[in-house]
Structure formats: structure tokens, C-alpha cells
Chains A and B, each alone.
Chain A
């Protein structure tokens, strides 16, 4: 059976006709087809060697052999032609260096006499001629077997067949390089010999020149008799269990109720259940209690808050501050956040959510005056409490998205591709993406859709370019100046006068109050009272006036600065291109300049036709919403999955490349198609995943499945995210952190999950950094910007940070309240376990704690030790 693919390959080659099997390309090598392939195979043209932008040691090759013409020039003509010696080919620098006969920074790359050597040598011997690059363009690359079911340590061979533009087909196995995505499952050596290693499935990637082809391999566990699988309770479980059956891996048991409750509450709302909630849930005997709990959690504000955090990470919601644009983190980030949170709280369909971000404009079709009223109201709302947040969240569209740094043009396109399509296109800025299908032209043609969005920021000529806005802004400035004048007069005139009076009145009031208190004659008292009332009226009048002055002063400042700036420099709109803002995307890198003049969507062949003056972003949204869009729904479904399981069905979750196969492609297809058919309902998606048996499994794998990492034979433990960890730490210790952000008008009692940007509280910022809060910086498009790994400093800070210590010993914290609640040590221990680990202690734990309590001077000391210990267990820091 395993020989079938060889037959197939033979058939392909025969059909191609030109290169019979057995005839080595070494005999009559062609430059762009064979020589360049040798460079790729040996790694010579990789980014860390001669493929680097500046080359290496003066010798520069195009990255992965993307431009054979340039490579030919480098080899044959550059360096005064020293690299080739046609009179004595064996003495060519090219051969001497690569074989290590002359010192070579990259070491010895090939042996004299090897196939690679013969390709280079014979090409040189035949006169080092250039060939027709077009004829050697790749039409298709086929690896066989495409999929292999292998048993552990079984060996088999990969073959790679290339079809070229001139119609010829060639077995290029000997010129390819090979790599395994998971060497624990299968390995592959330099000549394509694969070997199954351990249970699981992975992909082996064969690469010819710059192009990859993927061969899948599945290695099932041997023996163990008939696998007893539960009936799949949901469609998700059907897919997961089917794969486990294929791999012969038993799934884990269902997690117990307490574990489920903690897990679901943390994953859905970012909080721990309270002790009471745990007790209640454990006592509930109804069969549908988990489903009801899931529905309850999804409806809680914590759920919207947690996903607001996730979307704000993804959309880099704090990255403001272009030169002199009047936009900053303090004002804009909380507005951005409030808008996202409002959409999530009302469960806006995800396609609409995306559309309202991607096609955002500041005016939203309103007149300039109407919009400017909003600008004024927002500016005035920046005070305690932030009234602007509610106002902003009621906007139809999120223009703040486009007001961030690098939001438009090519850098903005990279962000759109990453956030909404799950694609990472950065590499395609300078060169063809090395492990994906994207070319520079794909990126640039997509970027053209976002070239018309006006970039925010101060430009000297904005006054001329936007005359209406400028006119309006001048009006505001004048109003502001007038107001400032009024304030000045008030301050110097009546304000000063009243203030003086009030100042004098105060001691007099005190004196009169004293006198009245002493008592006396009614008439005298009444007169004094009248005097007092009059003086107090003066004070009140003064207070009133000073407040008025402050408000006017404030308003005049906004009118003369922030408001006009915003109106002139920060209005998001679609505009036709001109010299100042070119219509077409262009990138310039050390590798050259490239531009595209078509509007083409990623993966589409045909360009999009646009009407005159039409905002091309609408076409993007139209495409996203198409039921057959290959990325949009898939990307979010995969990310939601990754939230609950710590890995995507395509993993990493932001790499939806055809060369990065899904572990469960049919599951992913089902999920995203159903998501689209169900109206892009996020909450329904969350619910489906949460209700699955797969999510509710125990984190302890069955012994036979202990090594599984990708097929969900158990629930994979992961570290709690930074913000959640801090909230949970506060919750468990019964303490709070003063974020010290009143100056920025943050409300008291904000949770860490809800913070819009880095607060002043040093402990909180330290912990956020250590536990990997992402910087939300436009320079990095990667879901990995949020770090989930463990570090010594994390462990050390939980164990020994002075602030954590204070929390454990807080006089109004957890231990203090336990001491008040009950005197029974066992009950105290139980309550502590419920509050920190969300479960009851077992017998051993209980007695260990009680024994410890018996040795300490005070119950406080003992309970603090237990609390500290529980905070430092793996159970606490991990989602499990």
C-alpha cells in the first residue's frame, strides 16, 4: 500500500515526459531551475546568510532564490568574476568556498562529488550560461505521499515533483530541503527519508527553491485493545473523538464540578467563583447545571470585559500619539475600549462589529457641524466621571481605530490582515513570504483598499486641504479666545472683588457663629443671623463664580486647542488620492521599490472594480461577509477556540496559511460555517465550545495519552493571563489595588482586566510586565505578543513580593474575615480552599493545614501561611 505513491509519482513523471526518473539534474543543470535550487537546499540564500539584505561578506543572493537573474549576475559578473573560473572550474570560488576548501563563514556546505557539487560543477563546466527564467517558473509542486498513516519508527520516503511553466515535469527530491513541524511525531532527513517517531500527527514540509509543499503524517498508538470512547455529546466532540480514535488515544475523564466551575468562570469572566458560588454549584443536583452556569457566565459583564481586553490587544487599542495630532492614550484608549465593550455587551454580530470598525469615519455621514458638536462634547467629557466614554460608545463606528499610529497604508494593512484575517503578511513587505503563498503584490494590492483613509496628524497644509474644517476650527478658536478674554475680565474684575470679599467674610462668619452660639438677646441674635446669612451668601456667590470661571477657562482652553486640532487634523474620512496622499501602496526596502495599481483582495485572482469616489473599504467588508470568505470567520473561530484550549485548531492561531495545516480541519470548517450561517453570533460560538465534553475534560490525561499535545486527549493546563492573575490574586486575598489613576479620571474599583493602559501603581505594572501583558505596539503583529510562558521572576514575585506579602497579611483581607466568620479551624481551612482554589480540601490537605495551624503562635499566622501556600501552588497560577 505504501508503494502506491511511488507508482503515482512515476506516472506523473512519465506524463511530463522530459526528465525520466533516474536521470539526474546534475547531468545538464540549468541555472534558475537547478543551481538556484541547490542554494536554497544548502541554505546559502537564507535570510541569515547570503540571502540577507546586505548579503554576507560581499556576496548577496536573492532571498530563497526569488530572483534568479540577480543571482546569476552576482555569481558570474560581480566580484570581478572571481566567483567562477571557467578555465579551471574546480578552482571557482563558488566551489572552493562551499566545500570548505577555502575558509567560509558558513562552514562546509557540501562535499566534493555530491549531487549538489555536481550540479554546480557541471553548470560551470558547460559555460555557466543563464537560462530562460520564465520556462522554469513553478506551476505546481507535488509531494508524495500527501498523507501517510505510519506506525512508530516506520520509515518511508518523500518524493517531490515539480511542474514548470514550459510544461516539463521533474523529480526534484534531490534538490529539495525537508523539515518536520513536530519532530516528536515524525522526522525527515535532508534527502526526504521520513521516520515516524511518536503518537500524533504533523506535517513534513518539502521545499524546492522558495516553494513549500506539505505532506501529512499520522502516527497512531499501538495496541491497547478496543478503545472505549464516550458517545460524542456534541458535534465538536464528534470530530475530536474521531481523531482520538484514529490515533488510538483514550480521552480523559470529565472534570469534576468544582474544576469545571473554576475553569469556566476564569475563562468566561476572568474571575474566580466565590466560596458561596462553589458550594451552591456543588449542591445543585440538576442535570443541566453546567449549561445553565455557562449561560449565566456569558451574560455577566465580566465576559464582555474579558473579551474587550482581548480585542483591545488585537486591535492595539492604546497605540496613539502621532506628531501633534492631539490624540493620546489618556483620552482615546478608554474611548476605544468603551466602544468595543458596548458592542460585545450587546453581542453585536461579529461581521457587523468588523464592518463598523473597518469602514469607520468620523462624521458617519453627518454634517460637519453635527460632528463638531460630538467633538466638543467628547472633549468636555474628559473629566471625572468620564462622560465621554458613554458618548463615544454610542457612536456607530470606531474612528479611533484609524486614528492610531500606523493605522493606514501598508502598516495598517498588515494590522487588518492580522486582526481580521489571521494572516501575517509582514514578510511580504520586502520579499515573497518565505513560508506562505503571499507575494509583495498580494500585500500591496490589498493595501490599496486602505490608501484612501486619511492619515491623522499635523500637516502644515491641512488648513488649505480642509477649508471647511479649518473655517469651523477658526470659529471655535475665536470663541475660545473670546471666552478666555471673558475669563480674564471675570478673574480680574468681579472674580477678584468677590474673592476678596469672601476672604474677608470668612473670619467674620466664624466670629458671628461664635457669638450666636453664646446666645443673647433675640433682636441682637436675629441681626447677627442676618449678617451671617448675608456673608454666607457672599461666600456661596463667590464659590459659584469661581466655579464658573474655572469651567469657562477649561472650555476656552479646549476651544482654542484640542477641539480645533481634532477637527482639522484627526478627522477620519475616505479621500481621493493626491500628491500628499498617494492613491496606490508602495514599499521601499533595501531590496527595491514596488507598487501595485490594482485593488485585489487576498487570495482572489480578479481585481475589484471601484466606482468613482467609492470608499474601497466597503468592498473589503463586502468580501469579509461573503459566506465563502476563506479567512474572516475562520480566523475568529480559531481564535475563540484558542482562548479556551490554549492552542488553535490552526496553530499558531494567527497563521492561517495553507502550509500550516489544521489539526482538525473538518471541525474548523464546521465551526466557521455554522458561525457564518448562525449570523456571526459570538456568544453562541462561545457557548458551543464551553458546552462540549472536550472543554469539560479533566486536565489529567489517561495514561496512554500522556504525551498528547494537540489532539485534546485532555484539557491542557495553561498559565493565567497577567490581568486575570492580578484580579484573582486580589480576589483570593480579599484585597484591592489602588491603581493611582484618579488624575486620569479612572473610576475607583476598576479590575485589572478593565484597565485601558498601564497604571501608575508600581506593583501592578511590574506584575503585568512579568506575566506578559502585550505592549500593543503596531510594530508587532503576532498573537504571541501576549506571553503565556512561565518564568522564575513570576514564581518569585508570587512567593515573595513585599506587596503580595502585605496582601496575605492584610488586616481587612481574607484571613481577617475568616477569623471573624468562624472559630472552627477546619471550617476556616475549607473556606480558604473554596476562596482560593475554588474547591474543598481533601482529607490529607485538611490535616496538613490543621497540623500547621496547631504549631503557630496565632491563628492569623497559621492561616496566612496556608493562604500563602495556596497562592503558590500550581493549581492557583494555572488554568487547569
Chain B
């Protein structure tokens, strides 16, 4: 039988036994499966995806959904400026993105509608396309984990790279899934000097010594040979060791992480407006640059958190600090990808888990509270239209008035572009078959080329 199968017993466990995957999210089985499915899978518009996660929820009415005509206790301190796309006015703090508005789509009509909302529950809804809660629901995979399983990248590279570390304050935006640890995000931060995981990607010894030791290992690792190719666990270990050593010997990933290969001018462009001190954690705009380099090297999914946007207090102080930094980093990324011809095959997303409350008062240190009913998603490349607005909110920026889509639609659209069938059946640990995006929902077709 093809298509929707009846219950498939033990599939997940058999799979694990045969040998899950890897740093790179590739198992032997996956390779075979991917090859055999290649013919039937939907054609991928996007080879890669970069997700700039704006944890906490950036203020939509201060960035891409300005409401200059709303009352003073709503509209805040920032003025809109014209962008290159007629009909789209953006915040005055984003002149660079305004210049590049013909490169991306702004979606104003996808929200969680508070189901589920808040910082602990909404992020994984956005990042998995399913209403995944911190506990009590199935641990649906993040898009990158699904990519690691269903369309892994080159063997010597991670498929799902997450730059940074699990920050327990905003940690909900990185998580493993029921697909198993082999498909977990590979979390590391090359910008962090003490990051052991990043260090692990380069040999701890000088290359000649490493090679010599690897040869000694080969000479000594002769036992249990007769099981080669028969015992899947041993065959898997052998294959992984081969890949790991190839990776350590290959300069590809290391080179991708080495920012010294970029000119000072380029680094400066990405770091433009990056301050030494912020009101809220800022993230590092060099992650935009690293993301570009990783995608250039062939990494399919790169995800990072760009600081914290939960500005309950001093919204406008924080905005003056973080928005220009974001403007510079994202603009540089879009320019570089486009210049290299990579934008058409790379989805670039910038979003957070919610919007911020349009009504903010007029006090000096006014903040904006949570708002789950309207927000923005910036989506560029990989099949998203260049210069497009989808959906609209009311005149206060409080409610979606046009073209409302659920998060499921957003998730399905991403999978569609990545060439992964969102109806692919996956199995939970209790062996329950569910679809990658459980609910039916239409694609956000207005946003697509």
C-alpha cells in the first residue's frame, strides 16, 4: 500500500536500532530513504533556511505594521518612513531594510490567536507548526529536525545548526523532538571562546598528529570485524567514525565558521549599530554572517536567537538600540545572499512568538506588553515573493482583518518550500502515527512566487 499506511509496528524502534543519525542528521537509512523518495518528493524551491528568532516578541506596530494615525497612547515614539515597496512604510530605525523592501515579504496575518500563547507555549507552535506545549503534548520536531530526517544535507556538515546556546530564559525556542536525539538541533556558538562544542569541530591536535593517531586507531581497531556490515550498530559506528574523521580533516565546516576569512568591511557592515551595552540582551549580529557562511558551505537549516524582544519596560529605549542593529544585520544578509545568487534558494525568516500590545501609554519609559492577536513575519527568498505584503490589521494594529492564517499554514508553507511533505507520517514514542503538521491548513499562497 502506498500513501497513508495502516499502523506500522515498531517502525521507530527498528529505526533507532538500525542506527539513528548524527550531528549531520544523516543515518544510512535516511540516505537510502532520501534517495528512494527523491523521485516522489515535491520539488524543493528552498535549499536552505535561516531563521532569525526574535524571542519575546518584537513590536509589530513599531517595525513593519506602523500605525501613525492611531492615538498618541498607541503609536509610540517612532515615525514611519517610505520603503522601496509602495504601500509599505517601516520604522525610521530601519532605513536599510526600507531600501530592500523589494526583496522580502511581510506577513501581518498569521498569529497564534493566543492558542497557545505566551513565552513558554507559543514559540514551539511557531517553530514546529504544531501546538506543541512545554509538556503534555507530543514533542513535534522543529523544521530543522524534520529536515535532518527527511532531506539531510552533506554528510560532513550539520543539517540543523543552531548558533548560540540554550538560554534558560529563552530556552523554549530550541528543543529536541520525538524523532530522537539524532535529529536534535546541533547547538554551538563559534563566537563564544569557551564553547566546547564549537571547539570539537576542529581537531584538538595539530592535523599531522591527528592523522597519525587516526592511523594507529585503524591499526588497533581490528576486533569485532566479522560483524561488519551484518550488525547495523557496528556498521553505523564505523560509518560515523569515518564521517567524523573526514569532517575533522576537511576544512569545509571549520572554514565556514572562520570569520577571519571575511573582510573587515564586511564584518563592519554586519556589526553596524551594534552597541557594547544594551537595555535587554541583544544577541550578536555576527550570527547573520555565520548563518550566511554556513548556508554557503551547504548547511540546510541555520537557526539563531537575536537577543530578547520582550520589552515590557522601556520599549522605545530598547527599540532605538536593537532595531538598528537588526536592520544592519538582516540587510547585510539579504544583500550578500542575493549577490551570491543564493537568495532564491534560501528562505530567510525574522519573527518572534507574538506581537506587542499596540496600546502603550505615553509615559517616558513606556513598555509594550504581550499581544498574541497580531504580529509580523518577515520572510524572504526560497520561494517567498520579493516585495509583498500579506494580510492586514485594523487601524490600531490590534486584530487581523484580512487573510488570516493559522500557524499550521505557516509551517506547511515552509515544508512545502523545503520540499518536505507536511503530511509525511511520523511516529511518536508511543508509536502513534501523526503527520508532520497534524492539522490540515492551506498554504500562505499570497506570499509565494
**Physical interaction between A and B:** yes
Which of A's residues lie within 8 Å of B, judged by CB?
Answer: 40, 42-44, 46-49, 52, 54, 56-57, 105-107, 109, 177, 179, 181, 190, 205, 207, 424, 426-427, 434-435, 652, 699-701, 706-707, 716-719, 762-763, 766, 769-770, 772, 777, 779-782, 784-785, 787-797, 799-803, 805, 844-845, 848-849, 852, 855, 865-866, 868-870, 872-875, 877-878, 880
Provided the pairs A205-B9, A717-B233, A869-B220 are in contact, do residues A787 and B1 lie with their beta carbons within 8 angstroms? no
From A40, A56, A109, A777, contact of B440 by CB (8 A): A56
Q: Are B244 and A801 in contact (CB under 8 A)?
A: no
Q: Mark B374-395, 1 if CB is under 8 A from A, else 0.
A: 0000000000000000000000
Could you pull out 9 A-B pairs where Cβ atoms are within 8 angstroms?
A177-B1, A205-B9, A699-B224, A792-B24, A792-B244, A796-B23, A796-B200, A800-B248, A845-B219
Residues in A neighbouring B70, C-beta threshold 8 A: none
Q: Are B182 and A791 in contact (CB under 8 A)?
A: yes
Provided the pairs A43-B6, A790-B236, A845-B220 are in contact, do residues A803 and B244 lie with their beta carbons within 8 angstroms? no
Provided the pairs A48-B4, A427-B432, A799-B241 are in contact, do residues A805 and B204 lie with their beta carbons within 8 angstroms? yes
Q: Are B181 and A787 in contact (CB under 8 A)?
A: yes
Q: State A869–B226 Cα separation when bound (angstroms).
A: 20
Q: Are B435 and A48 in contact (CB under 8 A)?
A: yes
From A179, A780, A802, A849, contact of B196 by CB (8 A): A802
In whole Å, how far is A794's beta carbon from the nearest beta carbon of chain B?
7
Provided the pairs A43-B5, A791-B22, A873-B217 are in contact, do residues A652 and B13 lie with their beta carbons within 8 angstroms? yes
Stretch at the interface among B289-297, B346-354, B362-370, B423-431: B423-431
Interface size class of B (residues with CB under 8 A): 35 or more
User: Which residues 228-277 of B sit at the A interface, judged by CB distance below 8 A?
Assistant: 230-231, 233-234, 236-238, 240-241, 243-245, 247-248
Provided the pairs A700-B226, A719-B233 are in contact, do residues A789 and B19 lie with their beta carbons within 8 angstroms? yes
Residues in A neighbouring B435, C-beta threshold 8 A: 48, 52
Provided the pairs A800-B248, A852-B216 are in contact, do residues A874 and B204 lie with their beta carbons within 8 angstroms? no
Q: Are A790 and B1 in contact (CB under 8 A)?
A: no
Which of B's residues lie within 8 Å of A, judged by CB?
Answer: 1-10, 12-13, 16-17, 19-24, 26, 135-136, 180-182, 186, 196-197, 199-200, 203-205, 209, 212-213, 216-217, 219-224, 226-227, 230-231, 233-234, 236-238, 240-241, 243-245, 247-248, 423, 425, 429-430, 432-435, 438-440
Which residue of the partner chain A has the closest CB to B7? A434
Residues in B neighbouring A780, C-beta threshold 8 A: 429-430
Residues in B neighbouring A56, C-beta threshold 8 A: 440
In whole Å, how far is A56's beta carbon from the nearest beta carbon of chain B?
7
The 8 closest A-B pairs by CB, nearest first: A792-B22, A49-B4, A869-B217, A805-B204, A796-B244, A789-B20, A795-B240, A873-B221
Provided the pairs A48-B433, A699-B224, A700-B226 are in contact, do residues A791 and B7 lie with their beta carbons within 8 angstroms? no
Provided the pairs A43-B6, A106-B4, A207-B6 are in contact, do residues A792 and B204 lie with their beta carbons within 8 angstroms? no
Which residue of the partner chain B has the closest CB to A430? B432
Residues in A neighbouring B234, C-beta threshold 8 A: 717, 874, 878
Q: Are A802 and B199 in contact (CB under 8 A)?
A: yes
From A706, A793, A868, contact of B186 by CB (8 A): A793
Q: State A865–B19 Cα separation when bound (angstroms).
A: 28
Q: Are A46 and B196 in contact (CB under 8 A)?
A: no
From A766, A796, A866, contact of B216 by CB (8 A): A866
Residues in B neighbouring A719, C-beta threshold 8 A: 233
Provided the pairs A46-B433, A795-B241 are in contact, do residues A707 and B230 lie with their beta carbons within 8 angstroms? yes
Q: Are B231 and A717 in contact (CB under 8 A)?
A: yes
Q: State A719–B248 Cα separation when bound (angstroms).
A: 23
From A181, A790, A797, contact of B19 by CB (8 A): A790
Extra pairs beyond A207-B6, A866-B216 (4, CB < 8 Å): A181-B9, A789-B17, A790-B237, A874-B221
Which residue of the partner chain B has the closest CB to A794? B240
Q: Are A435 and B433 in contact (CB under 8 A)?
A: no
Which residue of the partner chain A has the closest CB to B24? A792
Residues in B neighbouring A873, C-beta threshold 8 A: 217, 220-221, 223
Q: Are B223 and A875 in contact (CB under 8 A)?
A: yes
Q: Most A CB atoms within 10 A — which of B205, B237, B238, B423?
A: B237
Q: Are A788 and B10 in contact (CB under 8 A)?
A: no
Q: Are A762 and B230 in contact (CB under 8 A)?
A: no
From A107, A848, A870, contact of B3 by CB (8 A): A107
Q: State A784–B14 Cα separation when bound (angstroms).
A: 11
Residues in A neighbouring B209, C-beta threshold 8 A: 865
Q: Are A777 and B432 in contact (CB under 8 A)?
A: no
Residues in B neighbouring A875, C-beta threshold 8 A: 221, 223-224
In whole Å, how far is A787's beta carbon from the nearest beta carbon of chain B?
6
Q: Are A793 and B22 in contact (CB under 8 A)?
A: yes
In whole Å, how far is A295's beta carbon from the nearest beta carbon of chain B?
29
Which residue of the partner chain B has the closest CB to A434? B7
From B16, B186, B439, contact of A789 by CB (8 A): B16
Q: State A781–B149 Cα separation when bound (angstroms).
A: 23
In whole Å, how far is A216's beta carbon from the nearest beta carbon of chain B?
15
Residues in A neighbouring B216, C-beta threshold 8 A: 848-849, 852, 865-866, 869
Q: Are A872 and B221 in contact (CB under 8 A)?
A: yes
Q: State A492–B28 Cα separation when bound (angstroms).
A: 71
Q: State A391–B12 Cα separation when bound (angstroms).
A: 42
Residues in A neighbouring B17, C-beta threshold 8 A: 788-789
Q: State A54–B439 Cα separation when bound (angstroms).
A: 8
Q: Are B200 and A848 in contact (CB under 8 A)?
A: no
Q: Are A792 and B21 in contact (CB under 8 A)?
A: yes
Which residue of the partner chain A has the closest CB to B13? A784
Residues in B neighbouring A772, C-beta threshold 8 A: 181
In whole Å, how far is B186's beta carbon from the nearest beta carbon of chain A?
7
Q: Are B230 and A48 in contact (CB under 8 A)?
A: no
Q: Most B CB atoms within 10 A — which of A48, A706, A716, A772?
A: A48
Residues in A neighbouring B19, C-beta threshold 8 A: 789-790
Residues in A neighbouring B224, C-beta threshold 8 A: 699-700, 717, 874-875, 878, 880
Which residue of the partner chain A has the closest CB to B138? A779
Q: State A179–B2 Cα separation when bound (angstroms).
A: 14
Provided the pairs A787-B181, A869-B220 are in contact, do residues A435 and B7 lie with their beta carbons within 8 angstroms? yes
Q: Are B227 and A700 in contact (CB under 8 A)?
A: yes
Q: Most B CB atoms within 10 A — which of A47, A797, A803?
A: A47
In whole Å, how far is B380's beta carbon from the nearest beta carbon of chain A?
30
Q: Are A791 and B23 in contact (CB under 8 A)?
A: yes
Q: Are B182 and A47 in contact (CB under 8 A)?
A: no
Q: Most B CB atoms within 10 A — which of A424, A719, A802, A870?
A: A802
Q: Are A784 and B429 in contact (CB under 8 A)?
A: yes
Q: State A762–B188 Cα separation when bound (angstroms).
A: 13
Q: State A875–B203 Cα separation when bound (angstroms).
A: 23
Residues in B neighbouring A109, C-beta threshold 8 A: 3
In whole Å, how far is A99's beta carbon from the nearest beta carbon of chain B?
14
In whole Å, how far is A100's beta carbon from the nearest beta carbon of chain B?
11
Residues in B neighbouring A205, C-beta threshold 8 A: 9
In whole Å, how far is B313's beta carbon from the nearest beta carbon of chain A?
27
Residues in A neighbouring B16, C-beta threshold 8 A: 784, 787-789
Q: State A362–B199 Cα separation when bound (angstroms).
A: 50
Residues in B neighbouring A46, C-beta threshold 8 A: 4-7, 433
Residues in A neighbouring B227, C-beta threshold 8 A: 699-701, 717
Q: Are A190 and B230 in contact (CB under 8 A)?
A: no
Q: State A179–B5 Cα separation when bound (angstroms).
A: 11
Q: Are A179 and B9 in contact (CB under 8 A)?
A: yes
Q: Are A769 and B244 in contact (CB under 8 A)?
A: no
Residues in A neighbouring B205, C-beta threshold 8 A: 805
Residues in B neighbouring A706, C-beta threshold 8 A: 226, 230
Q: State A54–B438 Cα separation when bound (angstroms).
A: 9
Q: Are B200 and A802 in contact (CB under 8 A)?
A: yes
In whole Å, how far is B152's beta carbon from the nearest beta carbon of chain A?
11
Residues in A neighbouring B213, C-beta threshold 8 A: 865, 868-869
In whole Å, how far is A842's beta carbon from the nearest beta carbon of chain B?
9
Residues in B neighbouring A699, C-beta threshold 8 A: 224, 227
Q: Are B200 and A800 in contact (CB under 8 A)?
A: yes
In whole Å, how far is A416's beta carbon from the nearest beta carbon of chain B?
16
Residues in A neighbouring B135, C-beta threshold 8 A: 777, 779
